[in-house]
C-alpha cells in the first residue's frame, strides 16, 4: 500500500503445506534517504517474461526459477529507482 510515508509491503509467511506454491514475488528497496520502493509480480506475469526468453527451457530458468523470478521483479522495480551515474553503466552492461 502507499501512504504519506511512501510504499509499504505486508508479508505473511506461508504455512508448511503452501510453502512450495509461489503466488507472488516481490522486491523492496529502502533508500539511504528514507524512501522506499516496492514492486510485486504474480507468477503468471513472471511466466510471461520467461516465455519471451531465448533460453526459456534451459539454463537458469529451469535450474533456478526462483532466482530468475526475483531478478525479473527487481529489474522491473529498478526502472523506477533514482540511480547515480556510477550505477547506470553497470546495469547497461548487464542488459
Question: Quick check: 14 and 21 in contact, CB under 8 A?
Answer: yes
Domain range enclosing 60: 2-10+20-82
The answer as to whether 88 is a domain residue is: no
The average confidence (pLDDT) of the chain is: 84
The answer as to whether 89 is a domain residue is: no
The answer as to whether 90 is a domain residue is: no
The answer as to whether 87 is a domain residue is: no
Task: Please report the pLDDT score of residue 91 as a whole number.
Answer: 66
- What is this structure's pTM? 0.73
Indicate the number of domains in the chain: 1
The answer as to whether 28 is a domain residue is: yes
15-52 pLDDT, tens digit each: 777 777 888 899 988 888 777 888 999 999 999 999 99
> Which helix (DSSP H) or strand (DSSP E) does residue 90 occupy?
helix 88-94
Amino acid at each position: 500500500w502507499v501512504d504519506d510515508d511512501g510504499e509499504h509491503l505486508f508479508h505473511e509467511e506461508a504455512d508448511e503445506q503452501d510453502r512450495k506454491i509461489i503466488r507472488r514475488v516481490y522486491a523492496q528497496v529502502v533508500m539511504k534517504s528514507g524512501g522506499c520502493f516496492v514492486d510485486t509480480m504474480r507468477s503468471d506475469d513472471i511466466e510471461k517474461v520467461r516465455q519471451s526468453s531465448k533460453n526459456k527451457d534451459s539454463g537458469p530458468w529451469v535450474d533456478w526459477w526462483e532466482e530468475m523470478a526475483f531478478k525479473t521483479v527487481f529489474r522491473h522495480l529498478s526502472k523506477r529507482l533514482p540511480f547515480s551515474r556510477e550505477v547506470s553503466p553497470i546495469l547497461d552492461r548487464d542488459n
